[in-house]
Amino acid sequence: MSMGTVWALLGAALSALLAGAGSAIGVGKAGQAAAGVVTEDPSLFSKVLILQLLPGTQGIYGLLIAFITLTNIGIMGGSADMSVHKGMLYFCACLPMAVVGLISAICQANAAVSAIGLVAKKPDQFGKAMIFPAMVETYAILALLVSILSIFGVSALK
């Protein structure tokens, strides 16, 4: 296996690792808040569960980027040989999802915790409460798009 493949694999691994870690932290944090609310009012379970799951999407995006990268570099079948230059390009393509995935999941969790507090006090404002953490998702989606476009762009290079 060439050094280029190692760089590309490192990018894929970081994408799954950092975005997944961010989501784990985020869902865990929001889960604590959700549990606090359900302790007092079990009827709010379904509402706070949705808010708890919001920071979980970054982990899925990270996995998607890792999967696309692995497919493109031939790790999951085919030839895995490539130049160091191309491997580093794959690595860079994975970075947006890895870094933004980690940070946005944690930030989204903070917003989700606040939204859970809002739902605890005003359950009828669930719709509005969900918008605040959902706004953070925008940046995770932008990072996902940049990573996908970059990976396909790199794979098209000779």
Partner 1 sequence: MSEKQYTYAVARIRAKELTLLNDAFLEQLISAKSVNEDMALLSEKGWKGRENSEKQDPLDVLSYEEEKTYRTVLEMVDDPHAFDVFLLKKDFHNLKAAVKETFAGKAFADIYVNGGTIEPEKIRDAVKEGDFTSLPESMSKAGKKALDTLLHYRDGQLCDIIIDRACLDEIKKASTKNKNALIRRYGELTVALADIKTAVRGAHAKKDLEFFTEALAECDTLDIKRLAEAASLTVDDIYDYLENTEYKDAVDSLKKSFFAFEKWCKDALMDSIRPEKAHPFTIGPLAAYILARESEIDSVRMILTGKENDLPDQMIRERISRTYV
Among 29, 65, 68, 104, binds partner 1 (CB under 8 A): 29
* CA separation, residue 90 to residues 70, 87, 98, 142 (Å): 10, 5, 12, 18
Q: Is 21 in the site for partner 1 (CB under 8 A)?
A: no
Q: Which region, judged by CB under 8 A, interacts with partner 1, from 10-18, 26-34, 70-78, 95-103? A: 26-34
Q: Is 138 in the site for partner 1 (CB under 8 A)?
A: no
Among 8, 21, 34, 95, binds partner 1 (CB under 8 A): 34
In the complex, least distance from residue 151 CB atom to partner 1, rounded to whole angstroms: 36
Amino acid at 158: K
Among 2, 71, 110, 155, binds partner 1 (CB under 8 A): 110
Among 114, 139, 141, 155, binds partner 1 (CB under 8 A): 114
Give the other-Cβ count within 10 Å of 103's Cβ.
18
Spatial separation of the C-alpha atoms in residues 20 and 62, rounded to whole Å: 7
What number of chain residues touch partner 1 (CB under 8 A)? 18
| Residues 6 or more apart whose Cβ sits within 8 Å of residue 96 | 143, 144, 146, 147, 150
Q: Which two tokens stand for residue 68?
A: 């696309």
Give the other-Cβ count within 10 Å of 117's Cβ.
15
Q: Is 49 in the site for partner 1 (CB under 8 A)?
A: no
Whether 88 and 7 have beta carbons less than 8 Å apart is answered as: yes
Q: Is 125 in the site for partner 1 (CB under 8 A)?
A: no
Residues forming contacts to partner 1 in the complex (CB under 8 A) are: 29, 32-37, 39-41, 44, 110, 113-114, 116-117, 120-121
